[in-house]
Chain A
Amino acid sequence: MARKEPKHKLLGSELVVLNLGLDIFTQALEDQKVKCLQLDLTQAPKLDKKLADALDRLL
């Protein structure tokens, strides 16, 4: 019988991390050789979603 697929797939997968906030955690992840993208979304709540996406495409 095939083994039941675990509900969660996080354990055992390679971590690819988005870091929204304190950059000390990005430093820590980089020290551990983990792929991490540090983001600043502090303007996000103030913008219309379409406008936000359009702005980001320009970056």
Chain B
Amino acid sequence: MPVVNIVKRNLFRDSIQLMRLSEDVKKMDGVDDAVVSMGTDTNRRLLQDLGLLAGESRGTGDGDLIIAVRVKGGFDADEVMGRVEQLVMAPPVSAGGRRTIVLHSVRSALDRASGANLAVVSVPGSQAFEPSMELLRNGVNVHLFSDHVSLEQELELKRYASSKGLLVMGPGAGTAIINGVGLGFANSVKRGDVGIVASAGTGIQEVSTMLDSVGLGVSAALGVGGTDVSEKIGGLMMKDCLQLLEEDEGTRMIMIIAKTPKEHVIRDVMDHVDRKTTKPVVACFLGLDPPKTRGERVTFAKTLHSAVHKAARASGRDAEGEFDAKISTTFEDLSKSARKFRASLGPSRRYVRGLYSGGTLAHETLLIFREIVGEAYSNTPLSDRYLLSDPNTSRGNSVVDLGDEFFTSGRAHPMIDPTLRRLRFAQEAKDPSVAAIMLDIVLGYGSSPDPGGALQGAVKDATRRQQKGDGPSVMAHICGTGTDPQSLEDQTSKLSASGTMLFASNALLAVEAALVVGGDEAASRLKKKWGELLG
């Protein structure tokens, strides 16, 4: 079957439009398979893996659009490509079609939406500053989903917002929950009195869904963007959000989640907590040792799992019992199942591979591995020595963040589009040194409608081979709730049916994987660190 590529130079479509166009083209008469994508290195590699790359696309740049089609036998390729090109070149239409209003200025937008108090901005980062600043000047809070906004621009936006009593959540802020409404990649969680401020998107998702499962609800979850805790920004918006939660009558307890913060920024944030807040605080700074304890009001946790456990304990309600019943496990149970797993492995199967869509969850796994079994390789490693020289190829124990810029440039995030992870899963499953593949399945608004289903075939195939002694096992954590659009129960049942071992938190998944590859030595280290990591 002939493969044809058409390249349109300097034509931009956003990642969701590209995903939809790909699906629409695949359904056309005479089309066997198709991908419409921007011409980035990652996308050209993906086309190569799918057997859809033709000579025309080899010199494309990030700003060029590729239409790649495998034409079915018996069809006239020129005629098919003519129809395909017509469809792709039509003006972009949103899922809701009529909903999008094409306007040319923020002012006109505000005239049409009087009373707007929040804007979600997900235009390309290079175009995000101007409209965001204009929105702020007009008194509108900004949830800035876009990344690639410079630190200088971020600082200017946040300084201005702070002076006006407004919020800038982002850039690169995946998640927020305000007044019970989920923004970006948020989950459907109970309303309650725990307020969260985080510089870690899937950190909010993991913590809020675990709180939900133990009967605690969220008053507000405010994602401030990963770079808020950088040297340059200095936790500016994190401190403003802490103040907001302190003043909020609906918030009784505050949780702070940060990924790889700068140490002195965290000292500054904690000074703010000491001086300006009065409510109980549970803080989790992934990648930093907890600062010195500051009395009973403020507690520190090393993992997201432990943070929720401590919040449940501090709530003074039934939540701790619920945590013990639904999430906790014992050292004995975990090590026993890991020993059983190890005994079933062939001698060559020595490594695990984590294929993550959530950056914070990947980071938590890397930290747990370092504590129990030694650092894992990654495209976002804890230390440079463990940087994967090619993010497309794993080595040893590897934890890959597929939501990292390397993989998402010019294509949808893996929480939205599972294609890239499915292909990577197949690649890892063929490696005879792999004992297990770890997955995070992140549910919620904005995510793929069926993330578990999208991987089900590949997982089933791997676990079938595993039962015959010729494939890896699959271990996963589902981050979600029963009221999420995808339904936790439905996803649990699909993944269980395909033979996946499921864990109630990402930390438990990571600990079990580390025990599987680390054996008795890892178990002995875990025993000493149990309280720190899972207590």
Contacts and interface: CB of A to CB of B under 8 A. Distances in A.
A55 interface: yes
Contacts of A41: 103-106, 109, 123, 131
B254 to A, nearest CB: 13
A55 B130 CA distance: 19
Contacts of B100: 23, 38-40
B182 A32 contact: yes
A44 B179 CA distance: 31
A55 to B, nearest CB: 5
Given A23-B16, A32-B181, A17 B120 contact: yes
Contact of B105 (A16, A19, A44): A44
Interface in B123-157: 123, 127, 130-131, 135, 140-141, 145-146
Q: How large is the interface on B (under 10, 10 to 19, 20 to 34, 35 or more residues)?
A: 35 or more
Given A22-B16, A22-B122, A44-B106, A6 B247 contact: yes
A3 to B, nearest CB: 9
B220 interface: yes
A27 B214 CA distance: 29
Given A44-B106, A57-B108, A16 B130 contact: no
Given A38-B99, A40-B100, A44-B131, A20 B123 contact: yes
Interface in B94-126: 94-96, 99-113, 115-123
B527 to A, nearest CB: 43
B103 A39 contact: yes
B101 A38 contact: yes
Max count, chain B CB within 10 A of own CB: residue among A35, A44, A57: A44
Contacts of A9: 117, 165
Nearest to A54: B104
B342 to A, nearest CB: 42
Contact of A24 (B95, B112, B181): B95
Interface string A26-56: 1111111011011111111101010111011
B384 to A, nearest CB: 33
Contacts of B141: 10
A19 to B, nearest CB: 5
Contacts of A20: 109, 119-123, 131
Interface string B191-232: 000000000000000000000000000011000000000000
Contact of A25 (B120, B219, B248): B120
B109 A37 contact: yes
B535 interface: no
A44 B110 CA distance: 14
B104 A43 contact: yes
A39 B109 contact: yes
Chain A: interface size category? 35 or more
Nearest to A13: B117
Contacts of B247: 4, 6-8
B445 A32 contact: yes
Contact of A17 (B14, B119, B248): B119
B509 interface: no
A28 to B, nearest CB: 4
User: Which of A6, A14, A28, A45: most chain B Cβ within 10 A?
Assistant: A28
A1 interface: no
B104 A37 contact: no
Interface string B229-252: 000000000001001100110100
Given A11-B220, A21-B145, A27 B131 contact: no
Nearest to A28: B445
B482 interface: no
Interface in B372-424: 416
A38 to B, nearest CB: 5
A9 B104 CA distance: 28
B485 interface: yes
A28 B182 contact: yes
A23 B130 CA distance: 20
A35 to B, nearest CB: 8
A7 B243 contact: yes
A2 interface: no
A52 B105 contact: yes
Contacts of B110: 18
Interface of A: 4, 6-32, 34-35, 37-45, 47, 49, 51-53, 55-57, 59
24 contacts: A6-B244, A7-B165, A8-B165, A8-B166, A10-B117, A12-B250, A16-B116, A16-B118, A18-B120, A21-B146, A24-B16, A25-B446, A28-B485, A31-B485, A32-B180, A38-B94, A41-B104, A41-B123, A43-B102, A44-B105, A44-B130, A51-B104, A55-B104, A59-B101
Give the 9 A-B residue pairs with the shortest CB-CB distance, closest first.
Answer: A21-B122, A56-B108, A28-B445, A52-B104, A23-B94, A52-B105, A18-B119, A6-B247, A7-B165
